[in-house]
Amino acid sequence: MNEPVGRRRFLFATAGAGTIAGCTSSDLAESPSNETPETSDASVSTEIGRVSAALQYVRPTRSERRPEVLATDGGQYVIVTVGERTIDASDVVLRLDDTEYTDTFTANRDGRLHVGFEVPQDVAAENGTALVGEARHPIYRDVLDRLADPPRFTNVSFDARAEIRPGAIMGLDVRIWNRGGPGPFTAVFDVPDAQPSVFSEQVDSGTFAGYTTHVTIDDDAESGGRTAVFDTGFERYTVPYTIVSPAGN
């Protein structure tokens, strides 16, 4: 097993590939939209696009070059997606059984508002509701089951090619054990002289999975040592590599 900082070489057969630019963990494990919410005000017609549960959430940022990975030890997230940009996050409340949660983070993506709620990893609710103003939207059983048995990712390994030329495609390898329930594993690859990329893969329960993805090094990258980062929100795994100039340059 690789430590969060360091490098060990390994070879394995990939079980899938995933660099899903712009994809987030909230696109997985979703409840369908509720087109007829229970409400005491017939004029309210707010619809929820989806409700999902995940250990990590990748939030786009305007001030930084790469997205931000949100994760909390001992916690997990319920993400409520609202299609109306006019809704304020403070108007969205999550209720699990008799406990109410207010928003932990917000994000705007594709014209929709994502409101995230941090809940304990050991939460096991019989009922759930997302309240948007006066509208009440039930949280479906698939999301409640995910919350009761979240993924537990261990033995994460990260590796990359030792040498790469400018303009070449660089392979990045990840291995993961999921010792909990099924769910998405999400992170961000931050490779100098390449565009940052979001990694999101569904990992089954009790599965040891290997993944390979690729980034393209800039054509004008200068030769020298670099460090690639695989940021899961819980840990930042690093691996050194070297950009080498073509022979004769």
Query: pLDDT tens for residues 66-118?
Result: 899 999 999 999 999 987 667 788 889 999 999 999 999 999 887 888 999 99
Q: What is the model's pTM?
A: 0.78
Q: What does residue 143 show for φ and ψ, rounded to 5 degrees?
A: -70, -40
Q: Cα(212)–Cα(158) distance, rounded to whole angstroms?
A: 10
Amino acid at 166: P
Q: Does the fold of domain 153-243 match that of domain 25-148?
A: yes
Kindly give, in sequence order, each residue whose CB lies less than 8 Å from that of residue 179, ignoring residues fewer than 6 positions away: 152, 153, 154, 206
Query: pLDDT tens for residues 174-184?
Result: 999 999 999 99
Evaluated on CA atoms 128, 143, 158, 164, the torsion sign reads negative
Q: Choose between 28 and 142: higher pLDDT.
A: 142
Residue spans of the domains in the chain: they are 25-148, 153-243
The strand pairing partners of 154, in sequence order, are 177
Amino acid at 181: G
Query: Of 3.90.1280, 3.30.70, 2.60.40, 1.10.287, which CATH number belongs to 25-148?
Result: 2.60.40
Q: Are 67 and 109 in contact (CB under 8 A)?
A: no
Q: Cα(70)–Cα(120) distance, rounded to whole angstroms?
A: 15
Angle at 143 between CA 118 and CA 31, to 5 degrees: 110
Q: Choose between 218 and 134: higher pLDDT.
A: 218
Q: Which of 132, 145, 65, 141 is nearest to 93 (CA)?
A: 132
Q: Cα(135)–Cα(201) distance, rounded to whole angstroms?
A: 33
Domain 153-243 homologous superfamily, CATH: Immunoglobulins (2.60.40.10)
Q: Is residue 16 pLDDT above 50, yes or no?
A: no
Map residue 149 onto helix, strand or coil: coil
